[in-house]
Structures are given as C-alpha cells and as structure tokens.
Structure 1
Amino acid sequence: MRNSLFVRLLQRGLIVAPLVLLGACSSKPKEVEPTALTSFEREYRVDREWHRYSGLGSLRKPLRLEPALSEQYLYLGDMSGRVRALQRSSGRTVWLQNTELRISTGVRGGYGRLLLGTRDGEAVALSADDGSELWRTQLSGELLSRPATDGEVAIFQSQDGRVVALNAADGAVLWSFEVTVPVLTLRGLAEPLLVGNRVFAGTASGRVVALELVSGSPVWERRVAEPSGRSELDRLVDIDGNLVLENGGLFVSTFQGKLAVLDEDSGRVYWDFNISSANIMSSLGGVLFVADNQGVVRAIDQRTGNELWKQEGLIARKLTGTAIHNDLVVVGDRDGYLHWLDPQTGKFVARQRHDPDGFAATPMVYGDVLYAVSADGEVAAYRLKATR
C-alpha cells in the first residue's frame, strides 16, 4: 500500500527521492476512483468576464504557477519562460516578455517588481512596467514557491533547505539560513511569510522556524508533526502549503501530519488537529478552510481547533487549495471544476467548469473577481451573482 503511494507520488513528480528508491515498485497501482459530482440547488450564477490563453501553464510539471494581482494588472509566468501582464478588467495583453528562464514558481508582485524563481535555482526580479530583467541571483537549489517581500528585502526558499534574504533593489545576498532536509521529500515548498521584522518558514521536516529579518538569526523553531513509521515514505511530514498569521497565531498544516496553531512570539503550540494537507488554506471570520490530500474540505475553528464541518463530496478529485470569494469558500478539482461552498455549512452553492486540464494554482481573488489559471495556461475571470 505504501509502495503504491510512493509510485503515485513519483509518477506525478510530487516527490524528490534518491535514485536507490526508484526501483522499489514496478507495477502501476490502481488509483481511487474520483467521487462523482452530484446536483445541488444553485444559489449563485457564475459569470465569466473574460478568458485568454496565457502560455504553457504547468501541464507537464506539477508546479504552482500563481499569478500576481495588482489594481490594474494580472502578471503570469509559464514553464517556457514567458511572462506577461494582462489588463485585469479585460484580459488584454499589455506586455509579453520571453525571459528564456525555466520558471518554476508563481509570480510575487509589488513595489514595481515581479519576483520569481527557476528550476535552476535562480532568483529573478523583473520590472512590472515591461517585464525587463532587473537582476538575477544564483541560489543553491531549485525554487518551487513564491518569494515574500516587503519592498526592501526579498525572501526565497530553495528545495535544498535554505532560506535566503536578498536586497530587493539589486539581488545582493543579505543572509542565508539552512535547515535540515529529509532523505525523501515532497517536490514543493511552503511560501515564506514576511511580517514586520520576522520571517516565518515551513520546512520539509515538519518544522516551522521564525527568523529575524535583519540578520536571519533564529528566534524560535518548533516541530509541528513528528515523523512516524518504518519507511521514509511513512515519515513524510512536509510543510508545503501556506502559513497564515492572524491575531498572534501562526496556522500551519503538514502532509501526513497535523494542522496546528503556534504562538507568533514563542512558537508554542496551542492546539493541533490530525490532517494531511499540502494545499493552500484560507480563512474567514475566525475559521480556517483546508482541503486535505484525500479531497475533503474542512472548516476549523481558529480559536479551539474544533472541526465545524467537512465536505466529502470531492474525495479523490485532487483539489487545489481554498480561497475566499464573495464570502464563500472556493476550491478547484482535477477536472477543472470550481466549487463554491457555504462557509457556515460547507454545502455547495455554485459550480463552474474552467478547463478540463485542471489548475496550475489555487484560484486567486481580487475584489469581487476570481481568477483561475488552468494547467495548460487558460486564464479566466469570474464573478458571482445571486440567483435569488
């Protein structure tokens, strides 16, 4: 059973493994059949404002290629190295730049720059005005998550366990902090979180570390999930989703581990909840919304850690992370459907098929518009309208 899981993860490019493990299994396992979608009473109509083809997306590699959103523009990068700016209101292409980079992260925008990373370990800054390169810095390992920035410092995290701070103006290295990487890891990384004078980073060993922004010195380090089991696969507890900081609590989830809240200042664990999730989670009104790796969407009370509801109608549909759109919870699935859920009950209230090829990233929201990017590069903007 565990060997079958290993093969499935390896076939999808979701793990990084030493060569000695590659021969562990030779037969292709039977996958769980995705839950069939059922009808429901629609409370909202989904209107597509516009759609465009934006590039190669992530169809050939399981990468998260999140766009960056600003008041006027949507910025997208694709695997072929093309970065473009689209008019957020119409989808019209404003500029297109062929960087020839092997882009492997989503785009982080702000302060006149676009930050991204490559499979070759290059941290790159482009001009938000025309996509021209501002600087490029070679780091020690593949980059698989968007960086964080406050306009002065850019924080990148590489697959080999390094958290690096760069001068956002010229890419000069300010400091580097190294964490231990297990023998076997998921092929992905949590986005570092930069808040005030602290940098928070999740690691492949199931730990969270808080660092001083100025020096990179560790403030605290805490294990969220304890590896267990006899095989390296059993012991995977990667933190690959996002870190959410609200009201002094740092919320984090792990693969084959736990969802927990840590004290922002000390790292002390207040509560934890058994779950396996490497997805982006969202929050609304003191509630966390998490799509786990089995396809169950859960609502968790931030204060107590109690489960408020769970939606099991999407099991084995390989869900994206969750987002909040018009005070509703939205999640995408393997077949390219977007599902909107009532945040109080978890029941379905709207559905729209975006693209049969699935998604390159968790849907993103700006104002009352949701933007979705498919695995083959189709991007579209959606609005909701109540049916009654």
Structure 2
Amino acid sequence: MKINFKKLGVCMVVLFILVGSISSLSASDWPMFQNNLRHTGYINQDTSYSTQTWTVNLDSAITTNPVLYGDKVLVGTQKGTLYALDAQDGDEIWKFELDDAIRSSPAVSNDSIYFGADDGYLYSLDIDNGKENWKFKSGDSICSSPAIDSDNVYFGSDDGSFYAITRDNASLEWQYKTDDDIKSSPAIHNDTVYFGSNDDKVYALDTDDGSVKWEYDTGDNVRSSPAIVNGTVYIGSDDNQIYAIDEESGNENWTYNAGSSVTSSPSIDERQCTLYAGTEKGSILALDIRDGLKKWEVKTGSSINTTPSIFGTNIAVGTSSGSMLMLNKFTGNNVWSYNPGYIDNFAGSVSASPVTSGGSLFMVSEDGNVYSLNTDQKIGPTSIYTYYIVAVIAGILVLLVVLKKLVYDKWKNN
C-alpha cells in the first residue's frame, strides 16, 4: 500500500491543533467559586484563550463571583437574573429570571449550572439553554456557593443547615444543622467537605453521611470560605484571624492576626507556598503557608471583601472603592489597576472576586456592569462613566460661556 506522507503530515498537524485547542479550552475554564473544589483560586496561565475588552450593563447590582465555562461568562444579579454572556463580546446568550436576589455564585459541572437564591431554592440549569433541570427548597436564603462532586451537590443555607443533595434529581442525601446561618462556601477534599458558619465554627463533615469529623472554634462569624493545600485548611474569621488547621485532626497549625475582619477567602499558590487574602480595613496580605509569617502587605485604603485570583506572576483583587488591582505576587508591587469610574468611589464597589483566563480578566461591580479586561496589554473597555464625565465637562464649559457672555453684556451696558 502506498502511503501519502504529505496528506498524513497534514492530518497530524490538524490533529495536534485540535488537541491543543481542547487542552487550552479546558485549562481556561473557571467553573466555580475559587476555580476548583479545594478553593485555591489559582489558574495555569499557559493558555491561548483571550477576548476583546468589553463592558455590558445588566439589570441591577452584581455581588456574585462570575464563572467562566467554555465560551460563557455566568453572572447572577440582585434583581434575580442569571445571565450567560458570550465571553468574546459580552452578548447575551440566555438568561434565567427569578423574583429574588441571586447572591450565591454559580458552579458548573457536567454541563449543568448550580446556584442558590434568596427564595431559598438551589437551582440546576442546563448550561446550553438555561432551562431548569430541578430546584431544591431549603429553609432560608442561600448565599453559599455550591460544591459538586461525582454524586452530590453541597451547600449551606441561612437556615443554619448544610445540605448534601443528589446532583441528578435533588434528592436529600443528608442534612447537618449548625447554630447560625452559613454564608461560607464549601471546599471538598479526600471525601470531606469543609465550611464555616456564623456560629463561629469551622466544620469538617464526611461527604458520605454528614457525620462530624471535627469542628474548630474561632472567635467570631466565619463568612470566609476555606482553601485546602498540603493537608491544611486555611480560612479567615471576623475575629481578625487567619487560621491554618490540620485537615485530618482539626488541630491548629498557626494563626495570623490580620488587624481586622477577614471575610475575604484565602487564595493559595502552592508552588510559592504563599497565601493571599484581604481584610476589611483594606490590607492585602501575602503569608507563608508553612508558618503564617508575613511576606508582604499592601494597604489600599478600601475594604477588601473579594478573594484574590492568582495567575502567572500576578494576583488580581477588587476593592470597595471600585478598582481592580493587579499586584506582583512576589513583592506586592502594583502592576496595573483599572477603575471604570477613574477615581475612587465614583463607580460601584467591587465585592465579587474576578475570574482570570489567559490574557483576560472578567470583573463585576455593584454598578451592574460586567467588564472584560486584557491583562497582557493592561487595557480595559471604555467605561460608561467616560460619557458622564464628558457630559459634566461639556456642561461646565457651556455654563462658563454663558456666564462670560452675561458678564460681558453687563460690562458693555455700563
């Protein structure tokens, strides 16, 4: 048989391109809060995925973390709408509307989206068209973002209960009652689910039956969500502390006094042995995960309630004054910042964590806008606030011209 090596070579090139494209796409996904079930907030920057810069205004304030899955950016709003936007240009693909606010960040698994709402339901939607698969009723609002393993969906509710339901049909597997509402989003590792509660405790439950493996007492509400690396659970508390807790025993490894409440969830770069977190008083901290010693601190002057995202040599974190900061992860030095209002506190607060992928960063704001930034070129979209500022300047110039004419006419008449 005669082999056409030219055609064979072309086929091999096409195959490599296809494989490379598939790998890049999967590497670029950010399918849940903090990207993975251990909540490290880290993404491999070696991906070809990139988008244009754009901004789109949705129906109301946005406080949920966006999720990137394939070509879709998923965002929930305070008005109760979950949007699927085209990651390339921000165009609406579909939307799912409720009557109550969505404050639970969505999570995606096997082409289904899971999220909670203030109506007390946890919803499952089809990723392709936004059609409802099922919904499960808890006893109160759901702010906790769900975690999904091969069998179940796990989440907390403001009714104080932590739930495990089947991912296929929302049957209740087990339920564990804490002594206060649960805002913290669960992390899963080694058949154990970890989360905090406003009863001041951190919990470790068996994923099979919900039995308690251990619980750890902090000094105040635990709204921060855990991150798990190398056998240690890292989490913040309203008692101003960041805790490192042994994953198996629940014993304390170390604590760090951050000086103010830590609602920001820690992100961890395992290679650099570094934890990043923000504080209510506006500090961004880098700590050594082995002993809790501080590597660096940046004081922003604005509350940091968002969780840092780690990509390449940088971290990205949003502030209550409306800015998105990019800092060098080794030194804390400012690399670039983007503020759609151009000056602090002119635009809406950024209370949701950004999503990074390749050269793109997606951020949301309480002004109701979603922004796509180019982190390679350090550029963002022209903000709607530009037109407000231009209109104000134009108005001032017109007023000055009118005043000048009035003064001139008065002088001439005299």
Give the shorter-chain TM-score range.
0.7 to 0.9
Contact 1:194/1:200 (8 A) holds in 2: yes
> Larger deviation: 354-363 or 213-222?
354-363
Match of 1:291 in 2: 278
Match of 2:399 in 1: none
What is the rounded CA distance, in whole Å, between the counterparts of 1:57 and 1:386 in structure 2?
A: 28
Match of 2:231 in 1: 248
What is the rounded CA distance, in whole Å, between the counterparts of 1:209 and 1:272 in structure 2?
A: 17
**Greater fraction strand:** 1
- Residue 386 (structure 1) shift: 6.5
> What is the TM-score with the length of structure 1 in the denominator?
0.77
Contact 1:57/1:360 (8 A) holds in 2: no
| 1:271 counterpart letter in structure 2 | W
Contact 1:325/1:369 (8 A) holds in 2: no
Contact 1:326/1:368 (8 A) holds in 2: no
Give the alignment of 1:10-89 within 5 angstroms: 49-58=53-62, 64-89=63-88
| 1:96 counterpart letter in structure 2 | K
**Greater fraction helix:** 2
Name the CA shift for 1:357/1:288 in 2 (closer, same or farther; >3 Å): same
- Residue 151 (structure 1) shift: 4.2
What is the rounded CA distance, in whole Å, between the counterparts of 1:367 and 1:195 in structure 2?
A: 27
Contact 1:319/1:331 (8 A) holds in 2: no
Q: Counterpart of 1:165 in 2: which secondary structure?
A: strand
Name the CA shift for 1:102/1:347 in 2 (closer, same or farther; >3 Å): closer
- Residue 170 (structure 1) shift: 1.0
What is the rounded CA distance, in whole Å, between the counterparts of 2:111 and 2:228 in structure 1?
A: 25
What is the rounded CA distance, in whole Å, between the counterparts of 1:178 and 1:193 in structure 2?
A: 18
Match of 1:281 in 2: 266
Name the CA shift for 1:160/1:96 in 2 (closer, same or farther; >3 Å): closer
What is the rounded CA distance, in whole Å, between the counterparts of 1:319 and 1:219 in structure 2?
A: 29
> What is the TM-score with the length of structure 2 in the denominator?
0.73
What is the rounded CA distance, in whole Å, between the counterparts of 2:184 and 2:226 in structure 1?
A: 8
Name the CA shift for 1:370/1:110 in 2 (closer, same or farther; >3 Å): same
The gaps in structure 1 that reach 5 residues or longer are 1-46, 59-63, 227-236
What is the rounded CA distance, in whole Å, between the counterparts of 1:282 and 1:216 in structure 2?
A: 26
Shift >3 Å, 4+ stretches = 99-102, 316-319
What is the rounded CA distance, in whole Å, between the counterparts of 1:190 and 1:323 in structure 2?
A: 18
The gaps in structure 2 that reach 5 residues or longer are 1-50, 342-346, 379-414
- Residue 362 (structure 1) shift: 1.3
- Residue 373 (structure 1) shift: 0.7
What is the rounded CA distance, in whole Å, between the counterparts of 2:257 and 2:176 in structure 1?
A: 29
| 2:285 counterpart letter in structure 1 | R
CA deviation string 1:170-214 (max 9, x = no partner): 111110001122xxx8xx711011224111111113321111111
Match of 1:345 in 2: 331
Q: Counterpart of 1:385 in 2: which secondary structure?
A: coil
- Residue 121 (structure 1) shift: 1.3
CA deviation string 1:231-268 (max 9, x = no partner): xxxxxx11112211011111011012311111111111
CA deviation string 1:88-141 (max 9, x = no partner): 222222222324444231211221111111212111111111111111111112
Name the CA shift for 1:287/1:380 in 2 (closer, same or farther; >3 Å): same
- CA RMSD, 1 decimal: 2.0
Match of 1:19 in 2: none
Contact 1:325/1:370 (8 A) holds in 2: no
Contact 1:67/1:108 (8 A) holds in 2: no
Contact 1:354/1:374 (8 A) holds in 2: no
Matched, 1:163 2:162: yes
Name the CA shift for 1:196/1:128 in 2 (closer, same or farther; >3 Å): farther
Match of 1:152 in 2: 151
| 1:263 counterpart letter in structure 2 | D
What is the rounded CA distance, in whole Å, between the counterparts of 1:219 and 1:367 in structure 2?
A: 39
Name the CA shift for 1:171/1:72 in 2 (closer, same or farther; >3 Å): same
What is the rounded CA distance, in whole Å, between the counterparts of 1:166 and 1:302 in structure 2?
A: 33
Which protein has greater RCO, CA pairs closer than 8 Å, 6+ apart? 1
Match of 1:199 in 2: 193
What is the rounded CA distance, in whole Å, between the counterparts of 2:125 and 2:106 in structure 1?
A: 10
Give the alignment of 1:186-265 within 5 angstroms: 189-223=183-217, 225-226=218-219, 237-265=220-248
> Larger deviation: 359-368 or 213-222?
359-368
Matched, 1:364 2:349: no
What is the rounded CA distance, in whole Å, between the counterparts of 2:340 and 2:318 in structure 1?
A: 9
Match of 2:250 in 1: 267
Name the CA shift for 1:99/1:132 in 2 (closer, same or farther; >3 Å): farther
- Residue 48 (structure 1) shift: 6.4
What is the rounded CA distance, in whole Å, between the counterparts of 1:169 and 1:101 in structure 2?
A: 24
Match of 1:115 in 2: 114
Contact 2:112/2:126 (8 A) holds in 1: yes
